[in-house]
Structure 1
Amino acid sequence: MPEPEPWVPPEGSWASSAARRRNMQAIRSRDTKPEQSIRRLVHASGLRYRVAAKPLPDLRRTADLVFRPAKVAVFIDGCYWHGCPEHYVSPKTNPGYWSDKVARNMARDRDTDQRLKEAGWLVMRFWEHEDSGACAQTIVNTVRARRAIPT
């Protein structure tokens, strides 16, 4: 059997090596363990929600949990990708690119928060390292309180 050809990044590719490419492709944008844990607890409390849904039809961004009638959008932010002040560490490889990427993510998060607030939504953000039980309880209490408010 002939040796497989070594992987060569396409012209203009951001991947610096085949190993880096595999690593980056393995990063999940949804259904992460912290998200699943929080969703499981919220669901067990009796609340139903949309997963990875757009809170607003014209907004090209999705929230991790969306409670449409209560107008609550929940985001579980990854410490690295969203610049957690407690856990973010600038990468050793290509730090300029990745630090700029995280800064753009943070700016987009603030823009998303603002747009949703202007549309009457409550935005809840949690870090992936926060206790799932505490996050879920906060979500449940908030959604139930907003549902009780006459509109």
Structure 2
Amino acid sequence: MDTLTPSQRSARMALVRSKNTRPELVVRRLAHRLGYRFRLHRRELPGSPDLIFPKRRAIIFVHGCFWHQHGCPRGARRPLANANYWSTKLDRNMARDVEVRKQLEELGWRVLVVWECETRDVNALGKRLVGFLGGR
């Protein structure tokens, strides 16, 4: 049972952002500090990727663990209230992620997904970014 009224729930959901999220900003600052230059949220590309590295033909998506159903404890849970709605929505998000990645790879892009929980360990994330993007 939802403890919020419909108007309270609507107000709370309106606060959820799709870009410029805290995990995305962590990845952007780190990539910039490592010397990489990138573009943001190109709508002409499938999925409107978070970071685009055109010269490297590389794309990074920064996914929220809950919204994209990562296997970590935060991503593995689903709301009990309105379960059908949430199950459908979260399953659709995961299916769209697979399709977008497939489309980008067919266009010749390399794709990396960084999960929200991975942004907590900046050293490990930095090594992962360098491994994916290569030398500067």
Counterpart for residue 140 of structure 1: 130
Structure 1 residue 28: Cα displacement? 1.0
Q: Does 1:101 align with 2:89?
A: yes
RMSD over aligned Cα, in angstroms? 1.7
Tell me the secondary structure at the aligned position of residue 41 of structure 2.
strand
2:28 partner amino acid: R
Higher helix share: 2
Q: How many residues align?
A: 128
Q: 1:142 to 1:99 in 2, by over 3 A?
A: same
Q: Output the CA distance in 2 between the equivalents of 1:36 and 1:58.
A: 20
How much identity, in percent, do the aligned residues show? 36
Q: 1:80 to 1:44 in 2, by over 3 A?
A: same
Tell me the secondary structure at the aligned position of residue 93 of structure 1.
coil
1:45 partner amino acid: L
| TM-score, scaled to structure 1 | 0.77
Q: What CA deviation, in whole Å up to 9, does each residue of 1:49-87 have, x standing for no partner?
A: 012224xx363x211111011111101111111011222
Gaps of 5+ in 1: 1-15
Structure 1 residue 143: Cα displacement? 1.8
Counterpart for residue 51 of structure 1: 40
> Which protein is bigger by CA-based radius of gyration?
1
Where do residues 119-134 of structure 1 align in structure 2 (5 Å cutoff)? 119-130=107-118, 131-134=121-124
Where do residues 6-45 of structure 1 align in structure 2 (5 Å cutoff)? 17-45=6-34
Runs (4+) of structure 1 exceeding 6 A deviation are none
Gaps of 5+ in 2: none
